[in-house]
Every structure is written in structure tokens, then in C-alpha cells.
Amino acid sequence: TNLKYLYLTENVLKILKPKVFDGLVSLQQLYLQQNQLVKIPTLTPMISLSKVSLANNQLLSMKIDSPVPSSLQSLKFSNNNISTISSADFQPLANCSIRNMDLSRCNIKNIEQGPFSNLPQLQSLDISHNPGLQMEDIANVIKDISHSPNLQVLFLSGSIHEQIPPSLFQPLSTTDLTQ
């Protein structure tokens, strides 16, 4: 099929079976926001996929269980209820060209060191409006993204509720954070 964009928004989807997207090799953008998904679906068969939106679902974990197309550039997870991002959650993204990731308003309370360290193409990371984050979590993110030479934008609005230590942004001294 030549289908390039698929909008499955505002449905009552809870689980998508692994082979539901088989044959959609030309699909470039997949919009699954505003459903009731509890798990990240298998994206492997969509070899042209560049953008996925899973915003406004009921995801409790960021764990990606299957390989991801190397063409993937943008992931939107905003407005889910993800309490922890572990170091292994984004390992399948290591071979992708992820440029934009939105984790805003996900009620994140813990970010381990490591999940963003294998995303060298990352240009924009949004972890804004996650008021449960501690300074240690923010520091873990900054250490990870310091390995992303293309990073231009880091959204932290509404996520810092403590005094910022003087050395917090020091790992980014060689990273251009222009807007």
C-alpha cells in the first residue's frame, strides 16, 4: 500500500496486536494519541516511519520491546502516566535517527542515568511539566544529553522545584542550546 499517514486518534484502543501494521511499509507518520493504549505497539514492519505520536494514552512504561525502524525521527509520549524512565527503555532507539522526543506532562518521578545517552541525533527533548522530578533526575538527563552534539532545545519548564546547583548545566558547555 502507498499509505503515508495513519490517524487512529480519539478511539478506545487499548492494545494493538503485533502484526496490526504489517504491510504498511510506506507509512511515514502514525498518530495514536487520545486512546487508552497501555503498551507501546510494535513498529517494526513500518520501515519508512519517521513520526509516532502516543500522546494522551494510558502508558505506564516507556519500555520499547521490539526493534524500531531506523527511519524514526520523532516520538511524542506527552500526557501519559509514566513514573519511571529506566536506562534500558530506549535501547531499541540506538539505531534510529531520533531528533525530537516529547515526554512532557507524563507525571515522571524518576529518570535513571542512561536512557538518552544513545541518541546522538537528538535535537529537541521535552521533559517539561513533570513536577515529581528531583534534581538528581534532571542531572541524569543532562549527563545523557551531553553526548548529543546536535541538541538545540531542552524543555524543563515546570519540572524544577529546587534551587539549581551551579554545576548542573556544566556538562552541556560544549552543547549548543540555542532556540
Show Cβ contacts of residue 129 under 8 Å, excluding neighbours closer than 6 positions: 104, 105, 157, 158, 159
* Element (DSSP H or E) covering residue 154: strand 153-155
Grade residue 143 by pLDDT with cuts at 50, 70 and 90.
Answer: very high
How much is the pLDDT for 33?
97
Q: How many angstroms separate the CA atoms of 132 and 165, rounded?
A: 18
How much is the pLDDT for 16?
93
Q: DSSP of 39-82, one letter per residue?
A: SPPP-TT-TT--EEE--SS--------S---TT--EEE--S---
pLDDT in tens, 16-31: 998 899 999 999 999 9
For residue 33, give Cα distances in angstroms to 27, 36, 43, 78, 88. Answer: 17, 9, 15, 9, 24
Q: How many angstroms separate the CA atoms of 112 and 126, rounded?
A: 16
How much is the pLDDT for 58?
96
Show Cβ contacts of residue 77 under 8 Å, excluding neighbours closer than 6 positions: 54, 55, 59, 62, 101, 102, 103, 106
How much is the pLDDT for 173?
65
For residue 153, give Cα distances in angstroms to 28, 33, 97, 167. Answer: 24, 23, 16, 19
